[in-house]
Amino acid sequence: MFDELIRALSRASVPFSGFLEEVWALWTRDIGRAVLLARWRWQEIPNDVFERAALLQRQLESARANHEIDQQVDTRLGAMGIFPSRPAASYGSYGPSVDPNHQVFLTTLATIRQHSGDPPTTPAFGERAYLVLTGQLDPVEALLETLPPLLRAQMMAAARASAMLGLGNFMQQQGIITAAYMLPRERIPSLLSGYV
């Protein structure tokens, strides 16, 4: 009985079904392989992924706007000596209804679907992509190496700032997603044993 309850709660927390649920389960363990699986089987990505990604983006923007309004109200009330009695967990978050990871997931799948499984690539990143996806090269460094010199310097500064702000995982995630986008199609099966 307890196992059934756990399974039901698990299904309730995953807003995806079918192929998206399969890719999401892999995404939570290995983002690179999830992107490769989505690229390899892109025809199974439902057409409504575009609408779902747009809806989630609007929800995220709305949550951010509400959060900013709350911060402004709290600041003004604080200036008057009135301090709101909100739970500490509400500070610094966009609320429980929006999961930014779902947004990144859906946007990634929408990009793959839009480009029939092969998003635009940078030829220089092809070999680096394989090294990133096999753990032999840092995803952020590989991404930075492919940029023009001026942009590279700016992105290096942004990467350092992100790491100091605790957003280093986001940069790593973007580097892995980019590597999975850039891996030549013929090399995908070698990294998807058990899925193709």
* 156, burial (CB in 10 Å: exposed 0-12, middle 13-18, buried 19+): middle
Structural domain for 144, as ranges:
121-188
Question: By three-state DSSP, how is residue 62 classified?
Answer: helix
What pLDDT score was predicted for residue 51?
83
Torsion of CA 130, 182, 35, 187, to 10 degrees: -50
CA distance 3 to 10: 10
Terminal alpha carbon distance of the chain: 35
Chain centroid to CA 181: how far?
Answer: 13
Instruction: Tell how far CA 126 is from the center of its chain.
Output: 21
Q: What is the pTM of this model?
A: 0.72
Residue 172 lies in a domain: yes
pLDDT in single tens digits along all 196 residues of the chain:
655 655 555 555 667 888 989 999 999 999 999 999 999 999 999 888 878 777 777 777 777 777 788 788 777 777 777 776 665 444 445 454 567 788 889 889 999 999 999 888 777 677 889 999 999 999 988 878 877 888 888 888 888 887 888 777 888 898 899 899 999 889 999 998 876 6
**Is residue 174 assigned to a domain?**
yes
Tally of domains in the chain: 1
127 occurs within a structural domain:
yes
- Domain assignment present for residue 100? The answer is no
* Domain membership flag for residue 144: yes
The crossing angle, in degrees rounded to 10, of helices 100-114 and 31-40 is 30
Element (H, E) at 46: none
188/170 Cα distance (integer angstroms): 23
Q: Is residue 179 a contact partner of residue 139, using CB atoms and an 8 Å limit?
A: yes
33 within some domain: no
Rounded to whole angstroms, how far apart are CA atoms 116 and 119? Answer: 8
Q: Residue 35: inside a domain, yes or no?
A: no
Specify if 110 maps to a domain: no
Residue 178, Cα to own-chain centre: how many angstroms?
A: 11
Give the pLDDT of residue 69: 83
Q: What is the pLDDT of residue 135?
A: 92
DSSP state of 159: H
